[in-house]
């Protein structure tokens, strides 16, 4: 049996591109580390549990199973088990990706976020993780 995933992308704001760049990936300032870290996404109305698909010093791609009642700005708690700590950040949601299995009602969502507030200590932990200072899971 083959399962096909249908993907739809929605932008909260248009992706920024610098002059002379022909792809969205080329416009990213920081390299991204692939990961499957646990994340808690909090808004004033609710708390969601999900996973981090990839992460950089400036943002991340998160996967969650529901996005109802999320605003444009959320609080994140990203578990870094390699260092025995968590990174806390305030982030703006820039992109919503809908992943749905064909012929199924099951959906999950990708949230492209940019960090708006990150303490110096959390930035240092994140930098060490992204550059391979901690073994990734």
Question: What range does the domain containing 111 cover?
Answer: 5-12+30-121
Residue with more model confidence, 136 or 22: 136
24 in a structural domain: no
Q: What's the total number of domains in the chain?
A: 1
94 in a structural domain: yes
Q: What does the DSSP 8-state code read for residue 124?
A: H
**Rounded (10°) CA dihedral 44, 48, 50, 54:** -10
43 in a structural domain: yes
104 in a structural domain: yes
CATH number, domain of 109, equals 2.40.10.220
DSSP one-letter string for 17-41: --TT--STGGG-SS--EEEEEEEEE
Report the percent of the chain where pLDDT is more than 90. Answer: 45
pLDDT (tens digit, 9 = 90+) per residue, 25-56?
434 455 666 678 999 999 988 999 999 999 99
40 in a structural domain: yes
Asked if residue 123 has pLDDT above 90, the reply is yes
Asked if residue 87 has pLDDT above 50, the reply is yes
pLDDT band at residue 14, thresholds of 50, 70 and 90? very low
67 in a structural domain: yes
pLDDT band at residue 9, thresholds of 50, 70 and 90? low
134 in a structural domain: no
Q: Report the Cα–Cα distance between both ends of the chain, in Å, rounded.
A: 29
pLDDT band at residue 3, thresholds of 50, 70 and 90? very low
133 in a structural domain: no
pLDDT (tens digit, 9 = 90+) per residue, 51-83?
999 999 999 999 999 888 888 999 999 998 887
């Amino acid at each position: 049996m083959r399962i096909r995933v249908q993907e739809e992308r929605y932008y909260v704001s248009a992706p920024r591109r610098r002059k002379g760049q022909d792809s969205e990936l080329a416009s990213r300032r920081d390299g991204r580390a692939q990961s499957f870290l646990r994340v808690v996404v909090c808004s004033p109305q609710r708390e969601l549990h999900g996973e981090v698909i990839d992460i950089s010093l400036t943002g991340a791609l998160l996967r969650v199973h529901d996005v109802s009642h999320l605003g444009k700005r959320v609080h994140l708690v990203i578990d870094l088990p390699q260092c025995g700590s968590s990174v806390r950040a305030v982030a703006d949601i820039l992109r919503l990706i809908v992943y749905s299995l064909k012929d199924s009602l099951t959906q999950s969502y990708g949230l492209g976020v940019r960090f708006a507030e990150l303490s110096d200590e959390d930035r240092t932990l994140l930098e060490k993780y992204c550059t391979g200072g901690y073994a990734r899971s």
